[in-house]
Amino acid sequence: MTRKNVRVVIAKPGLDGHDRGARVVARALRDAGMEVIYTGLHQTPEQVAETALQEDAEVVGLSILSGAHMTLVPKIRELLKKNEMENVLLLVGGIIPEDDAAELIQSKMADAVFTPGDPLEKIISYIFEKGGKGD
Amino acid sequence: MKREDKFNELERKLKRWKTAAGNLPQKGSSGRTISGETLQPLYTPLDIKELDYERDLGFPGEYPYTRGVQGNMYRGRYWTMRQFSGFGDAYDSNRRYRYLLEEGQTGLSVAFDMPTIMGYDSDHQRSLGEVGRCGVAIDSLEDMEVLFENIPVDRVTTSMTINGPAAILWCMYLANAEKQGVRLDRVGGTIQNDILKEYIAQKSWIFPPEPSMRLITDIFAFAAQHVPAWNTISISGYHIREAGSTAVQELAFTLADGFAYVEAGIEAGLDVDDFAPRLSFFFNSHLDFFEEICKYRAARRIWARHMKERYGAKDPRSLKMRFHTQTAGCSLTAQEPENNIVRTTIEALAAVLGGTQSLHTNSMDEVLALPTEKAVKIALRTQQVIAHESGAANTVDPLAGSYFIESLTDKMEADAEEYFRRIEELGGVLKAIDMGFFQQEIADSAYIFQREVDRGERVVVGVNRYNSGEKPQIELLKIDPGVEKKQVDRLKKLKEKRDNSAVKAGLQELTKRAAGSDNLIPHILNAVKVYATEGEIIQALKEVFGEYREKPQF
């Protein structure tokens, strides 16, 4: 499914300020035709879930490089569910050790994890394949 | 033959060579640096026609310091081998520091966790899941005492990567030194304390620019009087580069920040020669070997020239740019992480040939997690091999005089000067930050670079070419999940056993002084000594200073 205008929220939850990846990804998704909202830095899980709701996001991309992913990702998934947004595609990027990535995906806390070295194209095609609730 | 005639003759021959070379196959190197700068395939005396040895290079330890800040550089003393390190609680990190010192490391460098960096105590709601994760958790003087237990702070210098709350962590360090019986004028080390690059690149801020600059100049003044051997700031290009800038942007933005601090100090009523000798710098060392070496040489020359000519500094120490270097974290790859040892070696060698005063070499696994003991040992050994086996330390500034090196050094200086003009036109560094100028320049460079990698126009070995597809088989450091609870419990106990009325009085006094214009360091020191926590002190200051917010852009 290649649908343009997919609504994506790119978020920086937690305290770390490393936003190179988040901004590069946000730009690449926009250039691929998606509607991208970037939350900016230092967001609480509540703020991320609130933005997702307000923006009617179909995809939420979390960028975390502080090591707090095992706490933050499940928390955000839970809050999204509370907002009746269980169908949101939740993607995680950053410094995520492989074991943690496997655990996040297996427990369905995250739909996909992208790490350094993954090409932008991989993220874009993943979203176009899975993203959106229909044409 | 006259000089001019010789050059004309050379020019003619060069043209002939270019025509011949142009007809050869062009299937190899693109001729572009990692920053996208297009190089000539060949440099000749024509490229450094204007070079005047005494004016542009001079002798090491002498103006304009292009060749190095010490007279005999590494013949006198090797660079300090300083591995950035910290994780878990103060006990965990103290063990790692003692291990590194036993293995021959010559200075310490503290990495704090995100809550400490952002000014939150470990028991704050925002700290959940972050305590001790990417650095050590420090909440109060009590933690600092544990962190340096059995480490003599009069003999080991310590660098602390802390910015927004730098004044507080510095006061904790000083208070601990006094408790160890060390006089403050015997304490040496560095606090990063560079808030401008936080707004520009690293994005770990607390207060808005104005009160942040006040805290910084308060530190300059206090150190000049009481802690003369302390480097009060480490003006950092490292994070600007990691955020995706080019080498020239790193050079220009870092020095522009440096000039902004000098101007702030002068505006605060300080004599430039009272604080400038303690300003230090921190650069990245990326993979483009020669470009990096030229960057360091250009940086020293620009700093010396501006300090002398623009700010009228007279003390030679004010003109010398001393800097720490860290190899580029962003150059490491998660795929085939062992290759990172090779990358780091190239980068470390560039830093040494560029005349660094201290060096951190990244561990191969840092793109995946905090480093294991084994990985950090290989990284330290890399420096030791360069120092003692490679011969790189034998001769001062050994690449000087190379047509290519001198030409590229000049070019980078000129390009940086062009940026200084643009920043000036925008109304200075703070205005340019406010307009998002630096942030956008860096974001553009990062995006262009990533696109080139994705298109395969830039080869990253093991990632977009020569990729065996094997999963990395290396052991990673796991942070004890019990650390957070342990730290929170310790903090709770501290709050029960300390003199809480003294804490309250200290914090109230601090808030009062923050509203005025006194130097705040003595008041922060008083609060620290009665075991007020970092978060409490930050809160006392926030009441007057407020918080900084960035407009999100990409």
Is A1 among the domain residues?
no
* pLDDT surpassing 90 at residue B101: yes
pLDDT at B367: 87
Is A61 among the domain residues?
yes
Q: Is B393 on the interface with A (CB under 8 A)?
A: no
B451/B375 Cα distance (integer angstroms): 31
- Show residues of chain B in contact with A26, CB under 8 Å: 554
**Ranges of H-type helices in B370-478:** 373-388, 403-426, 429-434, 437-454
Alpha-carbon distance B294 to nearest alpha carbon in chain A (angstroms) = 26
> Which string of DSSP letters, residue by residue, matches A39-81?
--SSB-HHHHHHHHHHTT-SEEEEEE-SS-HHHHHHHHHHHHH
Closest-CA residue to B97 (of B142, B55, B149, B143): B149
pLDDT at A4: 66
> Which residue shows structure tokens 């501290």?
B494
Please indicate, yes or no, whether residues B438 and B289 belong to a single structural domain of this protein.
yes
Which residue range is the domain that position A94 belongs to? 7-130
B346/B359 Cα distance (integer angstroms): 13
pLDDT at B433: 95
> Which residue shows structure tokens 């160890």?
B180
Condensed to tens digits (0 to 9), the pLDDT of residues A52-78 reads 999 999 999 999 998 899 999 999 999
B371/B403 Cα distance (integer angstroms): 40
The residue of chain B with its CA nearest to that of A123 is B454
CA-CA-CA-CA dihedral for B521, B524, B528, B530, to nearest 10 = 120
pLDDT at B163: 97
> Where are the strands (E) in B468-543, listed by range?
none
Please indicate, yes or no, whether residues B346 and B239 belong to a single structural domain of this protein.
yes
Alpha-carbon distance A66 to nearest alpha carbon in chain B (angstroms) = 6
CA-CA-CA-CA dihedral for B377, B382, B388, B391, to nearest 10 = 180
Rounded to whole angstroms, what are the CA distances from B334 to A116, B140, B366, B462, B526?
Answer: 6, 36, 9, 9, 46
Contact A20 B446 (CB under 8 A): yes
Strands laid side by side in the A7-11 sheet: A35-38, A7-11, A59-64, A89-94, A112-114
Is B323 among the domain residues?
yes
Q: How confident is the model at residue B182 (pLDDT cuts 50, 70, 90)?
A: very high
Please indicate, yes or no, whether residues B232 and B376 belong to a single structural domain of this protein.
yes
Condensed to tens digits (0 to 9), the pLDDT of residues B349-401 reads 999 999 999 999 999 999 888 899 999 999 999 999 999 999 999 999 999 99
Please indicate, yes or no, whether residues B263 and B410 belong to a single structural domain of this protein.
yes
Condensed to tens digits (0 to 9), the pLDDT of residues A5-35 reads 899 999 999 998 889 999 999 999 999 999 9
B252/B373 Cα distance (integer angstroms): 36
Whether a cis peptide bond, with omega within 30° of 0, leads into B481 is no
Is A135 among the domain residues?
no
Is A37 among the domain residues?
yes
Instruction: Residue window 69-128, chain A: list those with CB within 8 Å of chain B.
Output: 70-72, 95, 97-98, 115-117, 119-121
Average pLDDT of span B220-237: 97
Rounded to whole angstroms, what are the CA distances from B163 to A67, B92, B116?
Answer: 20, 23, 10
> Are B258 and B279 a contacting pair, CB within 8 Å?
yes
- Higher-confidence residue of A133 and B3: namely B3
Is B235 among the domain residues?
yes
The total domain count for chain A is 1
* pLDDT surpassing 50 at residue B158: yes
pLDDT at A72: 95
Closest-CA residue to B120 (of B535, B528, B537, B490): B535
B391 φ/ψ angles, rounded to the nearest 5 degrees: 85, 0
ipTM above 0.85, yes or no: no
* pLDDT surpassing 70 at residue A133: no
The total domain count for chain B is 2
CA diameter of chain B = 87
* pLDDT surpassing 60 at residue B509: yes
Residue B497 buriedness (CB in 10 A; 0-12 / 13-18 / 19+): exposed
Is B540 among the domain residues?
yes
Q: Is A23 on the interface with B (CB under 8 A)?
A: yes
Please indicate, yes or no, whether residues B419 and B497 belong to a single structural domain of this protein.
no
Strands laid side by side in the B84-85 sheet: B84-85, B108-111, B158-161, B189-191, B230-231
Please indicate, yes or no, whether residues B435 and B506 belong to a single structural domain of this protein.
no
Instruction: Residue window 260-319, chain B: list those with CB within 8 Å of chain A.
Output: none
Is B139 among the domain residues?
yes
Which residue range is the domain that position B287 belongs to? 70-454
Is B399 among the domain residues?
yes
Q: Is B323 helix (H, G, I), strand (E, B) or coil?
A: strand
Is B274 among the domain residues?
yes
Is A2 among the domain residues?
no
For A90-113, b/e burial (b = at least 16 CB within 10 A) is bbbbbbbbeebbebbeeeebbbbb
Query: What CATH number should be reported for the domain holding residue B450?
Result: 3.20.20.240
Is B326 among the domain residues?
yes
Residue B310 buriedness (CB in 10 A; 0-12 / 13-18 / 19+): exposed
Contact B333 A26 (CB under 8 A): no
- Show residues of chain A in contact with B198, CB under 8 Å: 17
Q: Is A41 on the interface with B (CB under 8 A)?
A: yes
- Show residues of chain B in contact with A98, CB under 8 Å: 368, 471-472
Which one of B204, B367, B447 has the shortest CB-CB distance to A116?
A: B367
Please indicate, yes or no, whether residues B444 and B507 belong to a single structural domain of this protein.
no
Q: How confident is the model at residue A134 (pLDDT cuts 50, 70, 90)?
A: very low
The average confidence (pLDDT) of chain B is 95
Query: What CATH number should be reported for the domain holding residue A115?
Result: 3.40.50.280
State the pairing for strand pair A112-114/B158-161.
unpaired
Tokens at residue B520, please?
Answer: 């705040």
Please identify, among B454, B473, B503, the residue that sits at the C-terminal boundary of a domain: B454
- Position B379: which residue type? A
Is B321 among the domain residues?
yes
Average pLDDT of span B169-187: 97
> Are B496 and B531 a contacting pair, CB within 8 Å?
no
H or E segment and range at residue A91? strand A89-94
> Where are the strands (E) in B40-101, listed by range?
80-81, 84-85
- Show residues of chain B in contact with A119, CB under 8 Å: 453-454, 464
